[in-house]
Structure 1
Amino acid sequence: MAADGANQGLDRAASVLEAITRRGPSRVADIVTETGLSQSTVSRLLTALERLEYVVRDPDAGTYRLGLIFLAMAGSALNEQSVFRHARQPGQQLAAALGLGVNVAIRRGNELYYLCNFEGTLAPKNFTLMGQRSPLHSTALGKCLLAELSGPERRELLPDLEPFTVRTIVDHEALDDAVTAVDRSGYATEREELALGRSCVAAPIRDSGGLIVAAISISGPLSALDLSSRELEIAQRAIEVADSISTGMGYLGPRSSSQLPQRN
């Protein structure tokens, strides 16, 4: 019983932290609405989390935000990620060279997680995408990550394709075509499928076994990317950097039939 109670307490504390992560600075009433927990439970958990420095209270606004202790945790978690270690510097250099945004993401379940987020002078942001999540079917990064799965696996993973704009892919046949294009051309595109006025080109990153484990994208406003005339140019840059990262992770490229093990 004691173990069950401890687990329940951890689950509730985690739900409070997740609510603040999603909403940003939040009042007790906001967290109650978000989590479904009682006000007394939320207040008690926030007091404990504040004592441990997991949350910080703004006495003037009466809101709670995540504590800086998570920066140290995030740094440690990222440094344990092989993709992050190999992609951070090339991604940063690419953003500086093009003046566009560069992002690196991995798949976790039915979402993508951003590991790296670099701003360019033509695509500034007042927030970081690092650690944020996005849908797979409406992003170029996600289409690259979905290329590792078969059609039936994609349908099982994403039974419903949520629309975010009028351009979002919402049927699996169209998604199959977009994902197949990754294998054919080596990259994926996204034009206003997640947010209006934004576009993106992404290329897959592979590990030593040749599996797609991440993807890197070049993104920004429609006018800055100008995919109508620059798609191939930008795609080539994304592919080159993705290949460089893959090589750093031990990927040697597809083997020819003569290099494959032969049956006796």
Structure 2
Amino acid sequence: MAAEPGSNQSVERALTVLRALAAGRTELRVSDVAKATGLGLSTSSRLLATLEGMGFVDRDPVSGLYRLGLDMVSLGGAVLNSHPVHREARQTAQDLAAELGLGVNVAVRRGDRLFYLLNFEGRQAPRPFVLAGQYNPLHATGLGKALLTGLTGEERRALLPAAALHAYTHRTVTTHDQLDDEITRAAGRGYATEVEELALGRACVAAPIRDGSGTVVAALSVSGPLSAIDLPNREAGLVRVVIEAADSVSINLGYVGPAHVVPHQAGAPEVVS
């Protein structure tokens, strides 16, 4: 791990340790942390002890293994509570998950991936882990395609080189020509779908969320097992509620809709919002 020019190496190393713990699905040994971060054993041990003392890392007293500490939840909660999309989307997403019994997710784009701001799981779409804070690819998800409707084809190619369009299943879109078709279709009808492109047996419907300037700043999706989503029979109904939910969040963020033309009394067109 090389420090960036002008960065504080100790801070960078500590954050790298936290990221290693966040990436692990299980508790880690000091040697695991050292391997994941590229730091020495003594450095890793010292950093873990410091982070433990500050409450950001917990150590199991029996096994000696490390995991993220509960004080990280306080930081994460503060971040989410201050994020405008999270504030405006939380209740809408929670209500929709309860109504449909499916998973409802809201994500933003961070670089070349999507980042889950929140998710609620309905009774038909349970998960054994929390999606909030996780990353997923843009090209292989309905949320990602909805987010990509805010970019031009040239911008998408600059953001996602061809080599980045990995195949996660046999259904994944893996070329920019295919992705262009998907994004054009999504932009034209106002929603994107994904069927077994990221994981077999799952599907989703997603719509973009816009801010007051009309920029796509997030996306909202309904997701779950194929049998629960049942797109052949439920697509129209799911699309309606997903678009309505995304539009509701957009309105709360200040979006007033695209400009449209209405006639003056004298007959000359006037562009209004």
State the TM-score, normalized to the length of structure 2: 0.91
Q: How does 1:1-264 map to 2 (within 5 A)?
A: 7-24=8-25, 25-159=27-161, 160-257=164-261, 258-260=269-271
How far apart are residue 5 of structure 1 and its match? Answer: 9.3
Give the Cα separation in 1 of the matches to 2:230 and 2:144: 21
How far apart are residue 61 of structure 1 and its match? Answer: 2.6
Q: Which runs of 4+ in 1 moved over 4 A?
A: none
Give the Cα separation in 2 of the matches to 1:175 and 1:121: 32
Give the Cα separation in 1 of the matches to 2:36 and 2:234: 43
Deviations 1:45-66 (A, max 9, x none): 1011111111000122321111
Give the Cα separation in 2 of the matches to 1:27 and 1:10: 21
Deviations 1:169-188 (A, max 9, x none): 11111111111112111000
What amino acid is aligned across from residue 206 of structure 1 in structure 2?
R
What amino acid is aligned across from residue 157 of structure 2 in structure 1?
R
How far apart are residue 210 of structure 1 and its match? Answer: 0.8
Give the Cα separation in 1 of the matches to 2:154 and 2:48: 43
What amino acid is aligned across from residue 194 of structure 1 in structure 2?
L
For the residue of structure 2 that corresponds to 1:260, the secondary structure is strand
How far apart are residue 259 of structure 1 and its match? Answer: 4.7
Give the Cα separation in 1 of the matches to 2:247 and 2:208: 8
What are the ranges of 5 or more consecutive residues in structure 1 without an aligned counterpart? none
How far apart are residue 18 of structure 1 and its match? Answer: 0.3
Give the Cα separation in 2 of the matches to 1:235 and 1:199: 13
What amino acid is aligned across from residue 255 of structure 2 in structure 1?
Y
What are the ranges of 5 or more consecutive residues in structure 2 without an aligned counterpart? 262-268
**Deviating more after overlay: 25-34 vs 195-204:** 25-34
What amino acid is aligned across from residue 67 of structure 1 in structure 2?
G
What amino acid is aligned across from residue 171 of structure 1 in structure 2?
T
What amino acid is aligned across from residue 174 of structure 1 in structure 2?
Q
Aligned pairs, how many?
A: 258
Identity of aligned residues (%): 54
State the TM-score, normalized to the length of structure 1: 0.94
Give the Cα separation in 1 of the matches to 2:144 and 2:195: 13
Give the Cα separation in 1 of the matches to 2:74 and 2:146: 30
Give the Cα separation in 1 of the matches to 2:191 and 2:6: 49
Deviations 1:214-261 (A, max 9, x none): 000000000000012211211111001111111111111111144538
For the residue of structure 2 that corresponds to 1:134, the secondary structure is strand
Give the Cα separation in 2 of the matches to 1:77 and 1:157: 26
Deviations 1:75-105 (A, max 9, x none): 1111111111110001000000000000000
**Aligned-residue CA RMSD in angstroms?**
1.4
Give the Cα separation in 1 of the matches to 2:140 and 2:64: 36
What amino acid is aligned across from residue 11 of structure 1 in structure 2?
E
